[in-house]
């Protein structure tokens, strides 16, 4: 139950973040569509004159090398992904003017939203996103949903956000399915429906979203909205941990250590828990300290145990057993462990100032 409640709290927090607008927008070229004659859409406010390209020019091609553009190449998105934002802006504008291309509209919206190659303008970003969304672009729908959830650009309609997320999720947008699942889990936008949340998490998880994999694993662990299944939970945690989701690294490490839903392997458990500890997880830091104290999964090391216990304690994960262990060590080992923790402690202090 604790894990499920923690997930619900995380859902509420994630959907309340004002800075989350367009944070998960996945601007990648979709499969090429047959050319369709389209009336030129009413353009948003006049676009500013492009500025000089800030990114360095690519190295000159080798003399005699063929320079033909591959068939179907997406020049606008290719430039965007390489950091040539002004080129992306120009190429996307050409495609909008020529074909009314919805993907190019979404790209223009993103460039204005992030201020890449053009002055930042939420107003123009929204205009381009809306044009693209009206033509069925899932990324544009998701971006508008995030603007509404984050209260950005004068948008602040959670009902509209939910509608847009549902539309984008139906079109296969993994992040939209995940965020819509959070709304069903939160139970404020509409009645809480954990089975529906689980379905949406599964859709997103199958598309490779590690946050959705972790969330669905949590539901399987607790038997909330799905039958309780420790093996399926461990499988999903493993997938999310491989994608470097810190919470999943902790939970999968613990599952490996205990043999819960997966073959017991303390050495591999230590690797996952260590990775999460270095990423700043207080739970992982405490578990790693205990492993060094007991010599399970790693070689016993009192100095390392004191180091990680000191760090975990500063992060709010106290442990009386480790306090007692540290108190029984030699002054040299205590000093060495505390000194090893000092750089981490300074980072923790700085993060709170």
Task: Report the pLDDT averaged over residues 57-84.
Answer: 57
At 45 the three-state DSSP class reads: coil
Phi, psi (5° rounding) for residue 18? -65, -25
Encode pLDDT of 162-221 as tens digits: 999 999 999 999 999 999 999 999 998 889 999 999 999 999 999 999 999 999 999 999
Model confidence at 68, pLDDT cuts 50, 70, 90, reads very low
The more confidently predicted of residues 75 and 4 is 75
Q: What percent of the chain has pLDDT over 70?
A: 79
Check residue 5 and give its pLDDT.
56
- Provide the pLDDT for residue 353: 80
36 pLDDT exceeds 80?
no
What is the C-alpha separation between 96 and 281, in angstroms, rounded? 46
CA distance 260 to 276: 19
Q: Which residues, 6+ apart, have CB-to-CB distance to 322 below 8 Å? A: 286, 289, 290, 293, 305, 309
| 113: confidence class by pLDDT, cuts 50, 70, 90 | very high
**Where exactly are the structural domains of the chain?**
287-353
Residue 226: pLDDT over 80: yes
| Averaged pLDDT, 21-43 | 41
């Amino acid at each position: 139950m604790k894990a499920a409640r923690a997930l619900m709290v995380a859902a509420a927090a994630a959907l309340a973040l004002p800075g989350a607008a367009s944070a998960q927008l996945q601007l990648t070229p979709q499969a090429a569509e047959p050319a369709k004659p389209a009336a030129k859409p009413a353009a948003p406010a006049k676009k500013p004159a492009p500025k000089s390209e800030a990114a360095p020019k690519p190295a000159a091609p080798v003399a005699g090398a063929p320079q033909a553009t591959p068939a179907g190449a997406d020049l606008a998105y290719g430039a965007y992904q390489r950091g040539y934002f002004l080129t992306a802006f120009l190429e996307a504008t050409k495609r909008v003017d020529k074909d009314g291309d919805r993907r190019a509209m979404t790209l223009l919206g993103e460039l204005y939203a992030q201020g890449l190659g053009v002055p930042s303008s939420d107003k123009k970003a929204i205009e381009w996103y809306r044009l693209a969304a009206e033509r069925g672009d899932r990324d544009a729908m998701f971006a508008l949903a995030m603007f509404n959830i984050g209260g950005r650009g004068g948008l602040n309609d959670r009902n509209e956000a939910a509608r847009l997320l549902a539309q984008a999720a139906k079109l296969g947008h993994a992040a939209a399915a995940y965020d819509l699942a959070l709304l069903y889990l939160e139970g404020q936008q509409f009645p809480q429906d954990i089975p529906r949340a689980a379905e949406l998490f599964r859709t997103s998880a199958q598309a490779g979203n590690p946050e959705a994999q972790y969330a669905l694993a949590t539901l399987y662990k607790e038997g909330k909205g799905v039958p309780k299944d420790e093996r399926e939970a461990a499988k999903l945690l493993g997938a999310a941990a491989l994608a470097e989701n810190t919470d999943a690294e902790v939970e999968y490490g613990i599952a490996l250590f205990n043999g819960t839903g997966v073959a017991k392997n303390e050495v591999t458990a230590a690797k996952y828990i260590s990775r999460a500890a270095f990423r700043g997880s207080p739970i992982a830091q405490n578990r790693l300290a205990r492993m060094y104290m007991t010599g399970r999964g790693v070689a016993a090391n009192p100095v390392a145990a004191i180091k990680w216990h000191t760090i975990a304690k500063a992060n709010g994960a106290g442990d009386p057993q480790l306090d007692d262990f540290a108190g029984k060590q030699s002054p040299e080992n205590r000093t060495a462990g505390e000194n090893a923790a000092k750089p981490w402690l300074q980072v923790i202090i700085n993060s709170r100032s």
